[in-house]
Amino acid sequence: MRRREASESRTASSSNQLGDALADEHRQESRPGPGLQPVTENQPAAHSPAWGRLMPADEVDRRVGLSWLSGLGFNRAAPVELLFKLLDVGVTDFLYREDLPNGVMDAAAVHRIRNVRAHVAEIGRLSPAQWGRLLAASPEPDLREQLTERAEELLAAQRLSRGGRGVGPAPRPDAAPPATPVEIAAMASEVPDIDPRGSTTALWWIGALHANAAAMRQLASSPKLLVRRSVARAPRLPSDVVELLARDEDRVVRLFLAESCDDAPPEMLLEVAGWWDASYSFPGRPRNHPNFPREGLLRFAADPNPRLRALALDDPASTAAHVERASHDPHEIVRRSAAQDPRLAPEAAVRLATDPDNGVRWRAVPHPAVPPAELVTLLLDLRSAEIAVRNPTIPVPVMHRMAEVAAPWLAAPRRSPRGQS
């Protein structure tokens, strides 16, 4: 009985402490100062009693806590101070984010923890000045040697680069592309035939000529599939070249045009969207292409092709009712579209957070529509904790407290969860 009372006392004490912190944050919203972050519009109910269920620390599964640390840095509402706190306990995966707040990579490059600096070098997205600061902050001889090798490796890759994403490297730093139509024709004739089913990286010399309109016109009509796919990787192309490639019989040529070229035509983008979901290298394309046609997409709301049904929600004339209907669609592609729609209702968000499809869950769990009580349940479930912690409605003080609770487990020996031997 005494142990139970003591446990309840600790629970109440931890919940009260968290509640005090939340209340203090709420009072400070109108006048944030150094070290304080204003609560975003996606963070209502910061004083909700639901957040107290995350404490006390001894009732949180160690694996859940480590999942929090793994995912917190990817929460777009996480303040810079929290990202610094994660670095201080050696958490670095979030440094791969392409939208890191200003100053975070700078801080990581000169961090006191060796492994943080080593991971910064591994990621490699540093300016020359940041590389200099990283080396200056690394007195360890073996680490300095590793960092120097990594910097030279990246510099060599830059010297071989002849185009944007999807273009292969040149064979050597001084390699130059053909300069005249005759030279271009000669090099194109030597391009080998490829299996249309294989993956393709654009030829380096064609990438080097992407800004040359005459060269692109010459190469776009080549009988060599690899040549045409390489042309389609150009970021901008003359209208006649775009028109030609948009009608190419090879669907990968059309896909590359949709992914890489800002001039891709609307009708081709819609056609590609009917069979392609987007890739890690070109996330969101073709659906997020600036030329993608959004007017009139509601005509696909009942289309037998689920990829086209999913597009209906992009129509400016679509409503929350269309989102609700899509959330019940039998195909996961359509439910995924509904799960990431900002108009998703709280009840639908909760339902989709336990959807059988992993892709649906990964979109629904961090959705701002998930109410605090249900979000806390997801945060305490090992199966959903790492993605739930990315939900932007988690109050900033709660994020800080979660990091504080979980940080000791990074260095602590493994132990069985409560109730297990």
pLDDT above 50 (res 30):
no
* 292 against 413, higher pLDDT: 292
- Cβ contacts of 286 within 8 Å, gap of 6 or more: 258, 259, 264, 269, 270, 272, 273, 276, 278, 292
The residue written with tokens 């944007």 in the block is: 164
pLDDT for 4 equals 39
pLDDT for 155 equals 87
pLDDT above 60 (res 21):
no
pLDDT above 90 (res 17):
no
What are the beta bridge partners of residue 202? 167
Cβ atoms < 10 Å from Cβ of 278: 15
Please give the average per-residue pLDDT across 69-91, as a whole number: 97
Element (H, E) at 321: helix 320-327
Q: Are 386 and 72 in contact (CB under 8 A)?
A: no
Please give the average per-residue pLDDT across 293-309, as a whole number: 98
- From 157-166, 223-232, 357-366, the region with the lowest mean pLDDT: 157-166
Q: Which conformational region is residue 225 in: left (phi greater than 0), alpha (psi within -120 to 50 degrees), or beta? A: alpha
pTM for this structure?
0.82
Cβ atoms < 10 Å from Cβ of 347: 13
What are the beta bridge partners of residue 167? 202
pLDDT for 87 equals 97
Please give the average per-residue pLDDT across 67-85, as a whole number: 97
Note the helical H segments in 340-395: 346-352, 358-364, 372-379, 385-388
pLDDT for 3 equals 38
Produce one character per residue of 236-273: b if its CB has 16 or more CB atoms within 10 Å, e if not.
Answer: ebeeebbebbbebeeebbbbbbbbbbebbbeebbbbbb
- From 19-33, 366-380, 395-409, the region with the lowest mean pLDDT: 19-33
- Cβ contacts of 135 within 8 Å, gap of 6 or more: 144, 147, 148, 151
DSSP letter (8 states) at residue 193: P
Q: Are 38 and 391 in contact (CB under 8 A)?
A: no
Burial class (CB in 10 A: 0-12, 13-18, 19+), 145: exposed
Amino acid at 395: P
Q: Note the pLDDT tens digit of each residue in 125-143.
A: 898 899 999 999 999 999 9
pLDDT for 230 equals 98
Q: Are 206 and 219 in contact (CB under 8 A)?
A: yes
pLDDT for 35 equals 29
Q: How does residue 58 score in pLDDT terms, banded at 50, 70 and 90?
A: confident
Please give the average per-residue pLDDT across 43-54, as a whole number: 71
pLDDT for 412 equals 59
pLDDT above 90 (res 18):
no
Q: Note the pLDDT tens digit of each residue in 179-190.
A: 999 999 999 999
> What phi, psi does 212 have (nearest 5°)?
-95, 100
* Listed residue (269, 178, 170) closest to 219, CA to CA: 178
Q: How does residue 41 score in pLDDT terms, banded at 50, 70 and 90?
A: very low
* 125 against 293, higher pLDDT: 293
pLDDT for 134 equals 96
Q: How does residue 57 score in pLDDT terms, banded at 50, 70 and 90?
A: low
Q: How far apart are CA 334 and CA 337, in angstroms?
A: 5
pLDDT for 55 equals 72
Q: How far apart are CA 272 and CA 292, in angstroms?
A: 11
pLDDT above 50 (res 282):
yes
Q: Show the tokens assigned to 332.
A: 């996961």
* Listed residue (393, 369, 374) closest to 384, CA to CA: 374
Task: Please provide the average confidence, as pLDDT, over all residues in the chain.
Answer: 88
Q: How far apart are CA 178 and CA 183, in angstroms?
A: 5
Q: How far apart are the first and last CA of the chain?
A: 23
Q: How does residue 203 score in pLDDT terms, banded at 50, 70 and 90?
A: very high
> For 214, what's the count of Cα atoms within 13 Å in the CB-facing half-sphere?
7
pLDDT for 296 equals 97
What are the beta bridge partners of residue 263? none
C-alpha triplet 403, 407, 411: angle, nearest 5°: 165
- CA distance readout (Å), 49 to 103, 238, 257, 350: 34, 59, 51, 19
The residue written with tokens 């610094």 in the block is: 84
- Give the rounded distance of the alpha carbon of 1 from its chain centre: 49
- From 52-56, 141-145, 383-387, the region with the lowest mean pLDDT: 52-56
Examine residue 56 and say whether the peptide bond preceding it is cis (omega within 30 degrees of 0).
yes
pLDDT for 29 equals 33
DSSP letter (8 states) at residue 98: T
Please give the average per-residue pLDDT across 199-215, as a whole number: 97
pLDDT for 47 equals 65
Examine residue 342 and say whether the peptide bond preceding it is cis (omega within 30 degrees of 0).
no
pLDDT above 70 (res 27):
no
Q: Are 326 and 313 in contact (CB under 8 A)?
A: yes
Q: Note the pLDDT tens digit of each residue in 302-339.
A: 999 999 999 999 999 999 999 999 999 999 999 999 99
